[in-house]
Structure 1
Amino acid sequence: MQQIRTRVMGILNVTPDSFSDGGNFQTFDDALLQAEALIGAGADILDVGGESTRPYAEPVSLEEELARTIPLIKAVRSRHTIPISIDTTKAEVARQALAAGADIINDISALKKDPEMIAVAASTNVPVIIMHMQGTPADMQNRPSYSNVVDDILAFLEERINWMVQNGVNRERIIVDPGIGFGKTITHNLSIIKHLDRFRSLGLQVLLGHSRKSFLGHLTGLEAEQRDLPTAVVSALAVPHQVDIIRVHDVAATRQALQVAEAIFQAE
């Protein structure tokens, strides 16, 4: 059996209004302490974001997003070698984050929101995460619908991948994210998770970002900050589908779930 190890991306939201941890790490000192905690818990990647993408979130200015993220990236990079991802849809934020020491661009708009983002992506050799989202954070949960959710997401991702390659991004650098909770109903989210293996057909690394999402709350009745156990369950279920990266808030719980799931999956 092929040895596998799913990487864990720890979420660090430097925002006042993210859906589960908004305001918890808004100050520089609190954010840096949380970064240290995520790394200590076994995170393989740190994902830094300065703009909330929760449903109905309002955008923030370029200046505010830069102020929230760049000093933190510089501080983490001065202390650690861990790969850092910048979670942004703004080209200038991505550009300055990479200059400050970030290693990955994570764009939930799949490089559609800022026309300058493709130039940033093409001019570097860093991995670029593209996500599927129906609509925008401000309207994505207003009656989302699909002909077939997995087929439709695959078609969208293939179109974006081809466009990026045509504009100078090496295909091997692209990581795909089906976008759990971004313009999807509970049924859509469950179908995506059940059929995660189909995203391997793109021949690229796959990221799953389901941590503490509302569909887990609807299934369990738990509030956002209480959803780390169901999050870990889904993380474990993703292992047989060979998902490459799991993006979560609780790194320690996810690492434990993956250790057990990987051992079972690799058993004779």
Structure 2
Amino acid sequence: MMFRLGGREFTDGDYAVMAIVNRTPDSFFDKGATFAEDAALRAVEAAVAEGADIIDIGGVKAGPGSTVDAAEELRRTLPTVVKVRERFPDVVISIDTWRAEVAREVIAAGADLINDTWAGADPGLAVVAAQTGAGLVCSHAGGLTPRTRPHRAAFADPVEDVVRTVTGLAERAVSLGVRRDGILIDPAHDFGKNTRHSLAITNRLGEMTATGWPVLVALSNKDFIGETLDVPVGERLEGTLAATAVSAWLGARVFRAHQVRATRRVLDTVAAIRGDRQPAVARRGLA
């Protein structure tokens, strides 16, 4: 399950942290804390220092809100990608977009990965990935169009629906010329799903990892965590980290996160328990 993004190669046992940097004024978690470009760049610097492998830059809030056209999305994201690439030549840069026209320009400016959380709503995204050599995230949105919320979401079997959808999108991408080792699959917790669906997907994540495609999970402070614990957005860290540890144990490889340091420490601990990483130090009982 090796995969390559930009100049990085991730092999078995590697867990990658994808830091979230939103160039939006209305993001659900940070409420626009990184909307200003200087704030976004400071957030990138902090994330890299805390152990982020991938920086995911987005210009449009996932949920409903004010209209953001492609030109505005590019105005928000393109300069940030340029500056991040200049300052951090080795970090993997991801662009969180569902628009092929946005992805093409941002990849030309230095991005390595297209993070499509809307399940190929624009079929041209895979074409862009194929033509540019960029990586591509293939996700499950439960049939929703971008920036809409689920209403009475129903599946005969949510995990079967997720696996069938994302593997179908991955195989389509390969058929168009996308690098097989540049494709990730994402169940997209909460997208087109209710809390029980997202919990079931987490419980049965091994069915996704068994497909052989590297799995990305975006768990950070999601509503399914909030409803599971009945807590607001600002109190979901413990639930997020619990879901992170379970997902890592079941084979997920990339973890999209707001709190990078805490996520990195959880993943390093899981890796050590699995035997994929040595302790940072070993003194106890040796003297």
Structure 1 length-normalised TM: 0.93
Within 5 Å, which residues of 2 pair with 1:53-72? 53-54=62-63, 56-72=64-80
SS at match of 1:202: coil
Q: What residue identity is the alignment partner of 1:92? A: E
Distance 1:44 1:5 in 2: 11
Quote the offset at 1:59 in angstroms: 4.3
Q: How many aligned positions are there? A: 264
SS at match of 1:29: helix
- Match in the other structure for 1:219: 228
- Match in the other structure for 1:145: 154
User: Residue 24 in 1 paired to residue 40 in 2?
Assistant: no
User: Residue 187 in 1 paired to residue 196 in 2?
Assistant: yes
User: Residue 44 in 1 paired to residue 22 in 2?
Assistant: no
Distance 1:115 1:4 in 2: 32
Within 5 Å, which residues of 2 pair with 1:9-158? 9-54=18-63, 56-80=64-88, 81-111=90-120, 113-134=121-142, 135-158=144-167
- Misfit runs of 4+, over 6 Å: none
Per-residue CA deviations over 1:40-66 (Å, capped at 9, x if unaligned) read: 111010000001113x34541111100
Q: Which moved more, 1:84-93 or 1:155-164?
A: 155-164
Distance 1:17 1:240 in 2: 33
SS at match of 2:210: helix
- Match in the other structure for 2:178: 169
Q: Contact (CA 8 Å) 2:245, 2:266: kept in 1 or not?
A: yes
Distance 2:123 2:169 in 1: 13
Q: Contact (CA 8 Å) 1:17, 1:52: kept in 2 or not?
A: yes
SS at match of 2:189: coil
Q: Contact (CA 8 Å) 1:86, 1:105: kept in 2 or not?
A: yes
* Aligned alpha-carbon RMSD (Å): 1.7
Quote the offset at 1:114 in angstroms: 2.2
Distance 1:245 1:85 in 2: 12
SS at match of 2:138: strand
Gap change, CA 1:24 and 1:191, over 3 Å in 2: same
Quote the offset at 1:141 in angstroms: 1.8
Within 5 Å, which residues of 2 pair with 1:186-265? 186-265=195-274
Q: What residue identity is the alignment partner of 1:257? A: V
Distance 1:66 1:236 in 2: 35
Distance 2:61 2:166 in 1: 23
In structure 2, list runs of 5 or more residues that go unmatched: 1-10, 277-287
SS at match of 2:132: coil
Q: Contact (CA 8 Å) 1:217, 1:224: kept in 2 or not?
A: yes
Among the aligned pairs, what percent are the same residue? 37
Distance 1:138 1:101 in 2: 26
User: Residue 5 in 1 paired to residue 18 in 2?
Assistant: no
Q: Contact (CA 8 Å) 1:137, 1:182: kept in 2 or not?
A: no
